[in-house]
Chain A
Amino acid sequence: GIQVEQSPPDLILQEGANSTLRCNFSDSVNNLQWFHQNPWGQLINLFYIPSGTKQNGRLSATTVATERYSLLYISSSQTTDSGVYFCAVERSGGGADGLTFGKGTHLIIQP
């Protein structure tokens, strides 16, 4: 199956700092999503971004499909940004095979 690797695995930052999270994947994809999982376990969809660049407030994401990686940028971090960020992909040509998740980046924003 497709492999998804996220880096860094853990990240501790001060409030106001900027960060870049990376997701590498091993095969062509027709779906890539970034999620934020809050301390209550809820998965919040941040971006649906199989290719290109998108921005939503302080967050933005870029996927370079030809080079099989995606980046999530968080600017001016706030304590509420803490949690686990997951990258998930769906392999091209699959029917309903589902999303394959990376192990996540555990982000802690300190006040």
Chain B
Amino acid sequence: EADIYQTPRYLVIGTGKKITLECSQTMGHDKMYWYQQDPGMELHLIHYSYGVNSTEKGDLSSESTVSRIRTEHFPLTLESARPSHTSQYLCASSEYRSGAGGYTFGSGTRLTVV
């Protein structure tokens, strides 16, 4: 049973549109993350959050933005989608205490910008 939920699962959208990818978790985890993955490649961290009102950029530069108004919710927004944004986006969460446990990933959103 998934404890972290992402919607939509698949999205095809035109260039220039604004989109928001949703991520919610029911585990009460403080730390949440967004990763980007091109097909067959490794995952790269693009955003993370320590908790409410905390957001940081990850290792891979991204034109997307995130917000963390509630502990359980960590949406990602693209103001103007471009074909270069076509990728899979995976959300994850973990407990704050270092070494307390592993990361749990959502099922991902596969985004195609045409």
Number of residues from A at the complex interface, CB < 8 A: 30
A99 at the interface (CB under 8 A from B): yes
A62 at the interface (CB under 8 A from B): no
Assembly CA distance A33 to B105 (angstroms): 12
Number of residues from B at the complex interface, CB < 8 A: 30
> Can you name the residue of chain A whose Cβ is closest to the Cβ of B99?
A30
B102 A48 Cβ-Cβ under 8 A: yes
Interface residues of A in 85-111 (CB under 8 A from B): 86, 88, 90, 92-104, 106
A42 at the interface (CB under 8 A from B): yes
Known: A50-B99, A104-B42. A98 touches B108 (CB 8 A): no
Expressed in whole angstroms, the minimum distance between the Cβ of A61 and any Cβ of chain B is 12
B45 A98 Cβ-Cβ under 8 A: yes
A45 B102 Cβ-Cβ under 8 A: yes
* B59 partner residues in chain A, CB cutoff 8 A: 1, 98, 100
Residues of chain A having any CB pair with chain B under 8 Å: 1, 30-31, 33, 35, 40-43, 45, 48, 50, 84, 86, 88, 90, 92-104, 106
Known pairs A45-B102, A94-B98, A98-B35; list 10 more (Cβ under 8 Å): A33-B102, A41-B108, A43-B108, A48-B102, A95-B50, A96-B31, A96-B48, A99-B45, A100-B59, A103-B42
18 contacting pairs across A/B (C-beta < 8 A): A30-B99, A31-B98, A31-B102, A33-B102, A41-B88, A41-B110, A45-B105, A48-B102, A86-B43, A96-B33, A96-B48, A98-B33, A98-B45, A98-B59, A99-B43, A100-B45, A100-B59, A106-B40
